[in-house]
Chains A and B, each alone.
Chain A
Amino acid sequence: MIGDALNFIVNGHEAKTGGVMVGGIDQVLELAARQLEVTVLALAVSLLLALPVGLLLGHYGRGEFIAVSAGNAGRAIPELALIALMAAAVGVGLFNLVVALAILGIPPILTNTFVGIRQVDRASVEAARGMGMTEGAVIRKVELPLAIPTIMGGVRTATINIVATATIAPLAGILTLGDFIISRNVYGDSGVLAGAILVALMALLLEAALAGVQWALTSPGLKLNRT
């Protein structure tokens, strides 16, 4: 069965519905690119909205209830219902899908950014102010660098949620790798297994890439502390 799945990825086979060839490396790459595209777009939207809000709320110590509840509430959203309702009530298409996925990405980034900024040692912030830094400089040069590990934790959770949910994007009319899994009547069991392998690989690679980004963004001082 695994051999069939690998063969499906490399060469493809005839569709169960007859006639056309499905699978093969060309379709795999096309669907993988689509899944990566919607994931990156949704993550970018989540970051653009959640990061500044989290930074400001954290910096001024306001809205703790909202910032923390957002993370809890976000976890309770059933991904399948969100995508299905978006497709049925608002319509299918890339824009709607990205909005739905960003709804899943915003809560963990917002909560972790807020918590990360609040956890920064107040003495460091006072020292920065004492040196004559503006509030903006305090956020950029002191709070943000010290909160990077926590913020990146939120970004990684968001990414895992988004890439996992992008798998059911075919329900919203965007064909990602999940199509191999969902449309079993077209691709057959070898296609389903191939889809599962590919989706798992994509999630693990994204997670590894983000671990690398986190390492690169973490200030050398914090790395020294950890070892």
Chain B
Amino acid sequence: MPDPTAPILALPAGRLAPLADVSSDFFRDRSGGGCIAENKLFCPGWVADNWDRYVDPTLQHLVLVGSAVAAGFLIAFGMAVLAHRHRWLASPFLAGTGVLYTIPSIAFFFLLLPITGRGALTAIIALTAFNLQIIFRNVTTGLAGVPAGVTEAARGIGMTPGQMLWRVELPLALPEIIAGLRIATVSTVALATLAVFANGGGLGTEIVVGANITFKTGIIVAGSIAILMAILFDGVLLLIGRLLSPWQRAALA
């Protein structure tokens, strides 16, 4: 029977600065501590006892992803509509968003260090920058895929360019736009785990706590919540896409 007051896992002389407080309380475990002491791959007893420590990181994660995708969508959507009107803008927009997409988010966080410092805002800006290309590309592809006959007909019945965009072109581009949003959202949920390095909170905090003390259960729980969140967002967006384009279901039936 191990001494319950003894530190169960020795903190290795990690190179990571401890980002969260790990007290002895961390290892509360109803199942008796044997699983924890052996540091098995997954300790359900520990999870049952400690699920509450994932609530705040999960909510922070939701805010990071929601803000970054919303901001990315607004900016990229505006850029795509602009590039649709003024074709010469398409190439510079694609190249510019391409650079932002290529720069790894974790580097982007700290390129912003002299400007916005550390925190959730820095993480949101970097994640937004990453999103732009994915959304811009899909909105552009969607608008370009509208059949010429349809736009001619819309013009023929006297629609203004604005009416054509909102009532004809964008609805037809919707499946492609939703597809882009799904890719951007799922990628952002995964990438937002890195926000911890910018002191941006989120599920990454718990992953780093787990990594610091090689505590596998903690890593698995935080990682699984992120994967579940990605699946959930993906499903919700798929549903929204279906609801917003009822004519597609009619065509399939």
A interface residues, Cβ below 8 angstroms from B: 1-2, 72, 75-82, 84-85, 87-89, 160, 163-164, 167-168, 170-171, 178-179, 181-186, 189, 192-193, 195-197, 199-200, 203-204, 207
- Interface flag for B80 (CB, 8 Å): no
21 contacting pairs across A/B (C-beta < 8 A) = A75-B186, A75-B187, A75-B230, A76-B189, A77-B227, A78-B226, A79-B190, A80-B193, A84-B208, A85-B220, A181-B110, A181-B197, A183-B15, A184-B17, A192-B113, A193-B114, A196-B108, A200-B103, A200-B107, A203-B107, A204-B103
Q: Within the assembled complex, what's the spacing in Å between the Cα atoms of A189 and B112?
A: 12
**Pairwise interchain contact A171-B16, C-beta atoms closer than 8 A:** yes
Residues on B with C-beta less than 8 A from A192 are 110, 113
Q: Indicate the member of B107, B114, B207 with the most A CB atoms within 10 Å.
A: B107
Interface residues of B in 172-220 (CB under 8 A from A): 183, 186-187, 189-191, 193-194, 196-197, 203-204, 207-208, 210-211, 214-216, 219-220
Q: Lowest 10 A-B CB distances belong to which pairs? A: A81-B223, A164-B104, A196-B110, A84-B211, A199-B107, A76-B230, A80-B193, A88-B214, A78-B226, A196-B107
Question: Which B residues from 106 to 160 make CB contacts under 8 A with A?
Answer: 106-111, 113-114
Whole-angstrom distance between the alpha carbons of A195 and B111 in the complex? Answer: 9
Secondary structure at the B interface, as helix, strand, loop or mixed, is: helix
Given A76-B189, A182-B15, A88-B103 contact (CB < 8 Å): no
Is A78 a contact partner of B197 (Cβ separation < 8 A)? no
Are B109 and A196 in touch, CB under 8 angstroms? Answer: yes
Measured between C-beta atoms, what is the minimum distance from A115 to chain B in Å? 13
The secondary structure that dominates the A interface is helix
Contact A193:B110 (CB < 8 A) given known A88-B216, A182-B15: yes
Rounded to whole Å, the gap between the CB of B253 and the closest CB of chain A is 22
Residues of B within 8 A of A (CB): 15-17, 41, 98-99, 101-111, 113-114, 183, 186-187, 189-191, 193-194, 196-197, 203-204, 207-208, 210-211, 214-216, 219-220, 222-223, 226-227, 230-231, 234
How many residue pairs at the A-B interface have CB separations less than 8 Å? 134
A82 — which chain B residues lie within 8 A by C-beta?
Answer: 223
How far apart are A174's CB and chain B's nearest CB, in angstroms? 12
Cα(A77)–Cα(B186), bound, Å: 9
Q: CB within 8 A of B113: which of A163, A193, A200?
A: A193
From A204, which residue of chain B is reached at the shortest CB distance? B102
Complex Cα spacing A156 to B209, Å: 32
A160 near B189 (CB under 8 angstroms)? no
Of chain B, the residue at the smallest CB distance from A82 is B223
A75-B190 CB under 8 A given contacts A181-B197, A204-B102: yes
Q: What's the minimum C-beta distance from B154 to chain A, rounded to whole angstroms?
A: 29
Residue of B nearest to A205 (CB): B102
- Partner of A80 from the list B98, B207, B216 (CB cut-off 8 Å) is B207
Residues of B within 8 A of A75 (CB): 183, 186-187, 190, 230
Q: Give the distance to chain A from B127, nearest Cβ to Cβ, in Å.
A: 13
Knowing A164-B104, A171-B16, A204-B103, the reply to whether A89 touches B110 (Cβ < 8 A) is no
Query: Within the complex, what minimum Cβ distance (angstroms) separates B224 from chain A?
Result: 8
Question: Which B residues are in CB contact (< 8 Å) with A170?
Answer: 15
B104 partner, pick from A76, A89, A193, A199, beta carbons under 8 A: A199
Once the chains bind, are A85 and B216 in contact (CB under 8 Å)? Answer: yes
- Chain A residues with Cβ below 8 Å from B15 are 170, 179, 182-183, 185-186
Asked if A1 contacts B191 (CB within 8 A), the reply is no
B114 touches A81 (CB 8 A): no
CB contacts (< 8 Å) of A84 on chain B: these are 207-208, 210-211, 219, 223
Decide yes or no: A167 and B207 within 8 Å by CB, A72-B186, A78-B226, A88-B216 being known contacts. no
Contacts of A207 in B (CB 8 A): 98, 102
